[in-house]
């Protein structure tokens, strides 16, 4: 499947079969994790599989996920920051989403799960000293078969015009201009990126020589950092696929526009 179709069809799965992953699948997952961890961008994180998923579920039921609604899965993958700082949160989510695209490629279904912050007793029981450095796990397994005629669960997304702006923040930019710059297809696809509570807390400003990513900073910027890493990952993949080969540079988080903070820039 081409990558643009992949993003548009990527869905969170919250109902899994009770079937555990077999040894072949576990070794494919382990290899996929190793490949991601081998990259420079993973230097501040660690990612581990947990194949005794139902123990994790029993421990975290009522204590993780939206309003304590934990997703029950046969396996999970934990994301640990070696140190708690914005870059590790951003690149942690970036690398985890990259891993997710590969796990979906293996035929697995997934759902990100937000844990309570800090070393809660349940987290310490599961993760020991790592507890305070783990804020997300990802449920993996095989989706429960849908009953016939159940409509597809979809979460709406903002339009390109609601997330992409022209030079002055946040003045509109025409679709023709985005097309002329070779960016329309990229933004039309990455708007489908997943985010915490589907808040889509991102705005882009396209100027002559760069794309700037701003991120919502209402209650806590922390929640938006993971979402930023995820959309940065999709932008990066699609930009590289279109020959716009650059790297995201993370900013100092001091430039504010309205409720948004300038988070990162990508040279064009």
Ligand X SMILES: Cc1cc2nc3c(=O)[nH]c(=O)nc-3n(C[C@H](O)[C@H](O)[C@H](O)COP(=O)(O)O)c2cc1C
Please tell me whether residue 14 binds ligand X under the rule CB under 6 A.
yes
In the list 6, 11, 20, 184, the residue contacting ligand X (rule: CB under 6 A) is 11
Give per-residue burial for 127-163: e unless 16+ CB within 10 Å, then b.
beebbbbbbbbbbbbbeeeeeeeeeeeeeebeebeeb
β-strand 210-216 against 260-267: which pairing, if any? Answer: antiparallel
Kind plus residue range of the DSSP H or E element containing 99: helix 86-105
Please tell me whether residue 238 binds ligand X under the rule CB under 6 A.
no
Residue numbers 20-59 binding ligand X by CB under 6 A: none
Length of the chain: 268
Burial class of residue 250, CB neighbours in 10 A (0-12, 13-18, 19+): middle
Q: Find tokens 């159940």 and name the residue.
A: 150
Binding track, positions 206-235, relative to ligand X; x by CB under 6 A: --------------------xx--x-----
CA–CA distance, 205 with 56 (Å, rounded to integer): 41
CA–CA distance, 230 with 21 (Å, rounded to integer): 26
Q: Where are the beta strands (DSSP E) in 144-219?
A: 164-165, 202-206, 210-216
CB under 6 A: which stretch of 11-19, 43-51, 117-125, 231-239 binds ligand X? 11-19
In the list 95, 195, 217, 224, the residue contacting ligand X (rule: CB under 6 A) is 195
Please tell me whether residue 88 binds ligand X under the rule CB under 6 A.
no
Please tell me whether residue 65 binds ligand X under the rule CB under 6 A.
yes
Please tell me whether residue 137 binds ligand X under the rule CB under 6 A.
no
Min separation Cβ 150 and ligand X, Å: 14
Closer Cβ to ligand X, 113 or 244, answer by number: 113
In the list 80, 89, 191, 196, the residue contacting ligand X (rule: CB under 6 A) is 196
Provide the binding-site residues for ligand X, judged by CB under 6 A: 11-12, 14, 65-66, 71, 111-114, 136, 155, 194-198, 226-227, 230
């Amino acid at each position: 499947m081409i990558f643009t179709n992949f993003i548009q069809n990527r869905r969170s799965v919250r109902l899994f079969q009770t079937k555990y992953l077999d040894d072949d699948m576990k070794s494919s997952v382990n290899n996929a994790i190793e490949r991601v961890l081998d990259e420079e961008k993973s230097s501040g994180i660690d990612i581990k599989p947990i194949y005794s998923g139902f123990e994790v579920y029993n421990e975290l039921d009522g204590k993780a996920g939206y309003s304590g609604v934990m997703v029950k899965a046969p396996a999970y993958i934990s994301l640990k920051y070696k140190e708690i700082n914005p870059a590790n949160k951003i690149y942690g989510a970036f690398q985890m989403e990259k891993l997710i695209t590969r796990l979906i490629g293996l035929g697995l279904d997934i759902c990100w799960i937000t844990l309570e912050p800090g070393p809660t007793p349940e987290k310490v029981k599961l993760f020991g000293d790592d507890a305070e450095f783990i804020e997300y796990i990802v449920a993996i397994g095989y989706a429960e078969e849908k009953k016939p005629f159940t409509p597809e669960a979809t979460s709406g997304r903002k339009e390109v015009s609601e997330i992409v702006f022209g030079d002055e923040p946040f003045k509109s930019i025409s679709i023709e201009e985005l097309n002329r710059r070779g960016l329309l297809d990229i933004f039309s696809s990455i708007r489908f990126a997943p985010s915490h509570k589907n808040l889509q807390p991102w705005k882009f400003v396209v100027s002559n020589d760069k794309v700037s990513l701003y991120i919502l900073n209402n209650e806590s910027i922390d929640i938006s950092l993971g979402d930023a890493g995820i959309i940065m990952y999709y932008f990066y993949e699609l930009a590289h696929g279109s020959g716009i080969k650059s790297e995201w540079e993370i900013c100092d988080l001091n430039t504010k526009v309205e409720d948004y903070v300038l988070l990162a820039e990508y040279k064009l």
